Amino acid sequence: MNKSAVAGVVAQGRRALHRRADPARIMEGRERRFAAALLAPAFLALMATTTFPLLFLIWTSFYRMNLSMPFMDGFAGLDNYRELLADPRFWQSLGVSLVYTASTVVLQVVIGLALAVLVHGMRRGQGLFRMVAILPVVLSPAVVGMVWRSFMLAPDFGVVDYLAVTAGLGSHNWLGDPTLALVSVIVIHTWQWTPFAFMVLLASLAALPDDIYEAARIDRASAWQSFRRITLPLLRPAIVMVIIMRTMVALTAFAAIFTVTGGGPGTATEILNLYAYRKSFTELSIGYGSALAVALLVFTLVVSGVLFALRRAK
Amino acid sequence: MSARGQVQLDGIVKKHGAFAALKGIDFEIKPGEFFALLGPSGSGKSTTLRILAGLDAPTSGRILVDGEDVTGADARERDVAMVFQSYALYPHMTVFENIAFPLEMAKRPKAEIGPAVREAAAKVKIEHLLDRKPGQLSGGQQQRCALARAIVRKARLFLLDEPLSNLDAKLRLETRVELKKLQRSLGVTAVYVTHDQEEAMTLADRMAVFMEGEIRQIGRPADVFAQPNSIEVAAFIGSPPMNLIPARYQDGSVLIGGRRLPTMLQTHGERDVVVGVRPSAVRFEADGIPATVEVVENLGDAAILDMSLAGTALRARYDRFPLPREGDAMGVTVRPEDIHLFDPVSRRRL
Ligand SMILES: Nc1ncnc2c1ncn2[C@@H]1O[C@H](COP(=O)(O)OP(=O)(O)O)[C@@H](O)[C@H]1O
Ligand SMILES: [Mg+2]
């Protein structure tokens, strides 16, 4: 067969293939349109509730918009951001956010991991622990905040205060003292969300094979060595995932702090999120409040970027 | 040094609730011996090995290693090495790190670890794979990595739980030979669990035949093969398995298919017996007991004939060509020294 004959046959084959592929392509197009129609409402709702408000927020952050002084409103350019950089209360709230986030996440992971290892080693009663653990998680943070404020931390008749007095530490104004108030909101967040870390890490632990721990015993690794050299590295992906998820939530925490301290005393527990809220809806300075919220958004994005980079590393 | 690795098990019982996985295991292993635990699946071989390793505690009984009672000691204190059936490699470590792990746990100096790892890897021919993770290795390579990790520390006992069972047939045969050489060159006491009687026959200096949580027979593989002490052991050892035919014994002979076959057992009287004949011991003679060929399994250089002999089934090995065809009539006989006699009630050898 010569070259042109081969080319002819090939072309013929290709045409035949095309004819056969055409109906399939029509079907495919139809299917895609149908899928798009199904998705459209959800997509539009998502746009309307997330993307649009976000764009609106960024837009307002470039305006002077103060409901108590509406006559001053107008385009402000970067004024809000200039003000923000020079605002000590902004830096203070960013610092509180950092302390709050770092300490709650570290505490959740450390305590959650310790509990998971402990419960994983138990032969019986694991189910009970799992069930008890889920309780704080399903409570609304606002309810948790109220419960802690009224039953746990109230001076004289709160459970914590009672325990402190019994232990000889004396009665304290847990939410009135700046340091104690910050410690209190950190403890409350840790109390509510450690079970989440616990459950995720327990499930990951249960998925690890048993035989490598027996091999480690044969290789004469101590319990601590097999935790350090085997459990931790194998749990790393789960731990990093928990850190990422909990960091995102802690950075944008609101309800529990709002109900327990409202950011006080003074600004002792005022995280950036709360400051943005107060600026916008208590002081009615919407433009500046928006700039604060955008700053929080940028900060959150930077932190998550760093964490995801860490996850990929090694 | 040569006295290292002597093992003694004394009345080991292991219960899981009411179920007794081991019903009293006793044996002794000499230093440097290759000892096989052979038995069908679920007979308690792994349980015995795990108790010997210190991974599980016996319900009762004693374990002595080099004369020292280690019954209460954990695996960490026993100085044993083990190859798991699943290999149990550390998935997040490279082959090098896997092999180095037991040395690091033993706090060996860094300068010693590198050469020791490379030496162990060389012994099992995986020096070129040291940077890989277990997930990037084939089954055979993983198995070698597990072997290297077990030999690198030079423990006094080398325990292997069905190490070849996850390999394909060809690799299994190759590795079997290498394993034997390796054990000989290390001079270490090895305890080897297997359900494959051929593996035990070829590898072991001595073996213990396990059944239902008990040891039925201990001895050199050739002796166990030649003199199985019970019907169960006789049926388990040898491939294809021994023919077991109920028959009548009468003054030194057995009656099969209306013929008298003389045996080595010369006692007066009459009784029921079970006659054991290995397929390879069946001889073909024109004036033998008449039998009909029902199925011919051609193995290439020989064949297994499934025959019917006066209503009972008989398997025989046949290595003359041309092979008989299905439906052919043949005469068979057995020499007196090839006839094993068992008591049908006690199931023991007569
Ligand atoms: N943890 C356990 N709980 C209950 N039964 C067990 C347990 N481990 C093993 N067994 C039983 O003990 C018997 C012996 O098991 P094993 O030693 O693993 O047999 P094998 O000879 O196949 O290695 C089996 O019947 C098995 O089901
Ligand atoms: Mg087993």
Residues B232 and B250 in one domain: no
How far CA B324 is from CA of A172, B247, B256, in Å, comes to 101, 27, 22
Compare A266 and B284 and report the one with higher pLDDT.
B284
pLDDT digits (tens, 9 = 90+) for B100-139: 999 999 899 999 999 999 999 999 999 999 999 999 999 9
Residues B275 and B186 in one domain: no
What is the average per-residue pLDDT within A42-68?
Answer: 87
What is the average per-residue pLDDT within B223-231?
Answer: 93
Residues B53 and B199 in one domain: yes
Hey, whose CA ends up nearest to atom 20 of ligand 1? B42
Residue B268 zone, left/alpha/beta (φ > 0; ψ -120 to 50; rest):
beta
Q: Is residue B348 part of a domain?
A: no
Contacts of residue B82 in chain A, CB cutoff 8 Å?
A: 215, 218
Q: Which residue has the tokens 């622990």?
A: A129
How far CA A70 is from CA of A66, A278, A284, A287, in Å, comes to 6, 18, 10, 11
What is the average per-residue pLDDT within A126-137?
Answer: 84
Residues B207 and B281 in one domain: no
- Contact between A234 and B101 using a beta-carbon 8 Å cutoff: no
Per-residue model confidence (pLDDT) at position A133: 83
How far CA B310 is from CA of B245, B290, B336, in Å, comes to 11, 8, 20
Q: Which ligand is nearest to the CA of A123?
A: 1
Compare A112 and A28 and report the one with higher pLDDT.
A112
Total domains in chain B come to 2
Do A136 and A190 contact (CB within 8 A), yes or no? no
Residue A312, min C-alpha distance to chain B (Å): 15
pLDDT digits (tens, 9 = 90+) for A86-102: 889 889 999 999 999 99
Residue A124, min C-alpha distance to chain B (Å): 16
What's the CA gap between B9 and B24, in Å, rounded? 9
Q: Is the pLDDT of residue A106 over 90?
A: yes
- Contact between B80 and A211 using a beta-carbon 8 Å cutoff: no
Per-residue model confidence (pLDDT) at position B24: 92
What is the average per-residue pLDDT within A9-26?
Answer: 62
The per-residue b/e assignment along A145-160, b for 16 or more CB within 10 angstroms, e otherwise, is beebbeebbbbeebeb
Alpha-helical runs (H) found in chain B:
45-53, 95-105, 110-123, 139-151, 169-186, 197-203, 221-226, 231-236
Residues B123 and B208 in one domain: yes
Q: What is the mean pLDDT of chain B?
A: 92
Per-residue model confidence (pLDDT) at position A141: 83
- CB-based contact (8 Å) between A233 and chain B? yes
Contacts of residue B52 in chain A, CB cutoff 8 Å?
A: none
Q: Is residue B280 part of a domain?
A: yes
Beta-carbon count within 10 A of A272 CB: 26
What confidence category does residue B231 fall into, taking pLDDT thresholds of 50, 70 and 90? very high
CATH dotted code for A88-312: 1.10.3720.10
Under 8 Å CB-to-CB from A174, ≥6 apart: which residues? A153, A155, A158, A160, A161, A180, A181, A184
DSSP-derived letter for residue A51 is I
Q: Which ligand is nearest to the CA of B208?
A: 1
What confidence category does residue B2 fall into, taking pLDDT thresholds of 50, 70 and 90? very low
Question: Of A11-15, A199-203, B277-281, which gets the smallest average pLDDT?
Answer: A11-15
Q: Return the best residue to mutate from B22, B37, B43 for the ligand 1 pocket (most ligand atoms within 8 A of CB).
A: B43
Residues B155 and B19 in one domain: yes
Hey, whose CA ends up nearest to atom 19 of ligand 1? B42
Residues B77 and B152 in one domain: yes
Q: Return the best residue to mutate from B19, B47, B49 for the ligand 1 pocket (most ligand atoms within 8 A of CB).
A: B47
Q: Which ligand is nearest to the CA of B37?
A: 1
Per-residue model confidence (pLDDT) at position A121: 85
Question: Of A283-287, B92-96, B113-117, which gets the smallest average pLDDT?
Answer: A283-287
Q: Is residue B199 part of a domain?
A: yes
Q: Is the pLDDT of residue B224 over 90?
A: yes
**Structural domain of B201:** 7-236
What's the CA gap between B16 and B42, in Å, rounded? 13
What confidence category does residue A1 fall into, taking pLDDT thresholds of 50, 70 and 90? very low
Q: Is residue B147 part of a domain?
A: yes
Choosing from B181, B209, B236, the residue where a domain stops is B236
| For testing contact with chain B, the best of A208, A213, A219, A235 (most B CBs within 10 A) | A219
- Contact between B101 and A217 using a beta-carbon 8 Å cutoff: no
Residues B198 and B338 in one domain: no
Q: Is the pLDDT of residue B242 over 90?
A: yes
Beta-carbon count within 10 A of A232 CB: 13
Choosing from B236, B270, B305, the residue where a domain stops is B236
Residue type, A11: A
Compare B171 and B37 and report the one with higher pLDDT.
B37
Residue B196, min C-alpha distance to chain A (Å): 23
For chain B, which residues lie within 8 Å of any Cβ of chain A, measuring from their own Cβ?
Answer: 53-55, 74-76, 80-82, 84, 86, 88-92, 101-102, 105-106, 149, 153
CA–centroid distance, B16 to ligand 1, in Å, is: 9
CA–centroid distance, B48 to ligand 2, in Å, is: 9
Choosing from B190, B217, B236, the residue where a domain stops is B236
pLDDT digits (tens, 9 = 90+) for A230-279: 999 999 999 999 999 999 889 888 888 888 888 878 888 888 889 989 88
| For testing contact with chain A, the best of B86, B133, B145, B159 (most A CBs within 10 A) | B86
Q: Is the pLDDT of residue A47 over 80?
A: yes
Residues B295 and B152 in one domain: no
What's the CA gap between B250 and B158, in Å, rounded? 50
What's the CA gap between A262 and B244, in Å, rounded? 88
Q: Which residues surround ligand 2, an ion (CB under 5 A)?
A: B 46
For CA atoms B98, B99, B101, B102, the dihedral sign is positive
What is the average per-residue pLDDT within A63-75?
Answer: 79
What is the average per-residue pLDDT within B339-345?
Answer: 93
Closest CA to A245 of A304, A174, A185: A304
Per-residue model confidence (pLDDT) at position B1: 42
Residue A107, min C-alpha distance to chain B (Å): 26
Using CA coordinates, name the residue in chain B closest to A210: B88
What's the CA gap between B29 and B17, in Å, rounded? 30
ipTM of the complex model: 0.86
What confidence category does residue A153 fall into, taking pLDDT thresholds of 50, 70 and 90? confident
What confidence category does residue A20 fall into, taking pLDDT thresholds of 50, 70 and 90? low
Residues B208 and B247 in one domain: no
What is the helix (H) or strand (E) element at residue A63, kind and residue range?
Answer: strand A63-64
Under 8 Å CB-to-CB from A255, ≥6 apart: which residues? A140, A141, A142, A145
Sequential DSSP letters for B246-288: EEEEETTEEEETTEEEE-S---SSEEEEEEEE-GGG-EEEEEE
Residue A113, min C-alpha distance to chain B (Å): 19
Contacts of residue B91 in chain A, CB cutoff 8 Å?
A: 212, 234
Q: Residue B108 belongs to a domain with what CATH number? A: 3.40.50.300
Contacts of residue A226 in chain B, CB cutoff 8 Å?
A: none
What's the CA gap between B218 and B108, in Å, rounded? 39
What confidence category does residue B85 fall into, taking pLDDT thresholds of 50, 70 and 90? very high
Residues B140 and B288 in one domain: no
Q: What residues are in contact with ligand 1 under a 6 Å CB criterion?
A: B 16, 19, 21, 39, 41-47
The domain locations on chain A are 3-60, 88-312
Question: Of A17-26, A188-197, B19-28, B308-317, which gets the smallest average pLDDT?
Answer: A17-26
Residue type, B264: M
Q: Residue B250 belongs to a domain with what CATH number? A: 2.40.50.140
Q: What is the mean pLDDT of chain A?
A: 85
What's the CA gap between B86 and A220, in Å, rounded? 19
Beta-carbon count within 10 A of B284 CB: 15
